[in-house]
Amino acid sequence: MKRKILLADPLLEQYLPLYKKNFIVDTLWNNKKLKLSEYEGLVVSGLFKIPSNLYDELSNLKIISLFSVGFDNIDINKCKKKNIVLANTPKVLTNDVADLALTFLLSLSRNLYHAHNYIINNNWEENGPIDLTASVYKKKVGIVGLGEIGRNFAKKVKSLSMEINYYGPNKKKISYKYFKDLKKMARYVDYLVITCIGGEKTNNLINNEILNQMKKTSYLINISRGSVIDEKALINHLKNKKIKGAALDVFKNEPKINTQFKKLDNVILHPHNGSGTYETRKEMAELTIKNLKTFFSTGKPVYRII
Ligand code: 8YV
């Protein structure tokens, strides 16, 4: 018997045929009158904030199958109270998200965006050679949160002969240099790369105090969550050239980000698309389906959070 599930996010529209092969499917965005008590499964992206009332109106909900690895958009306490199982899609997106961090690191160092516009604006013809840029060779990377994505990123930059350092709550059995004190690591490295989880524990972790430790020649990269950075402090550091530059895939208020970012010439802005490749997003959709089917048949999804 096909179970009834609800897709909550238009991001999932292109995968409707996959879901319809396995379930009776409705979508929240088509605004047709829905009988919310009929759905046993809900699929949401990492960007979708579930309205508080929806947890109650979906009175027969048994599982939320996240189309994301992060789950800071979910009310964990409500899920626990209502015995709703939560599953996510780790591993399949790790490589692409880490690739984006690597892309940011090289683009910032070689000032790629500026170089492109240098030609577009006829500066090469009119003013001659562009300014020199920074080499990444033997430079120091500081990874905030050495989870799966952080470790994958570390392997990529190790191949660039970079020195790998990391900060997190606990030292791991790995050869990279561990910093228990984030201030000390921020002072030491050339690239501070945020790969930790979002949520309360890391809210505004990168604040004015941390940014003040960074060198004027250093860069900040964020592929985690916008909640991790005090954006007013970062904008001030970028505007006053207290750090060399930043590349951000995530922001506090997506997609209506702080407009001050758009006035800066030393930031790369990217619309929360770390996992956004054809291949990975299809794998993520397939994994949300596998999580649902495994849960409905065995009571346990493949990747269970709670
Ligand atoms: C999602 C994300 O992959 O996976 C995550 O945690 O940050 C997001 O990039 C994307 O929003 C699709 O849900």
Of 151, 237, 270, 272, the catalytic one is 272
Q: Residue for token digits 């579930």?
A: 50
Read off the pLDDT of residues 72-127 as tens digits, 9 standing for 90 and up: 999 999 999 999 999 999 999 999 999 999 999 999 999 999 999 999 999 999 99
Read off the pLDDT of residues 286-300 as tens digits, 9 standing for 90 and up: 999 999 999 999 999
CB of 90 closer than 6 angstroms to any ligand 1 atom: no
Taking residue 292's Cβ as centre, other Cβ atoms within 10 Å add up to 26
Q: Is pTM beyond 0.85 here? A: yes
- Residue to mutate (ligand 1; options 49, 91, 93; most atoms within 8 A of CB): 93
Give the chain's mean pLDDT: 97
Residue with CA closest to ligand 1 atom 3:
68
Centre of ligand 1 from the C-alpha of residue 225, in Å: 10
Q: How many residues does the chain have?
A: 306
With a cut of 90, say whether residue 32 has pLDDT above it.
Answer: no
Centre of ligand 1 from the C-alpha of residue 124, in Å: 39
In the residue annotation, 254 being an active-site residue is answered as yes
Q: What is the pLDDT of residue 1?
A: 85
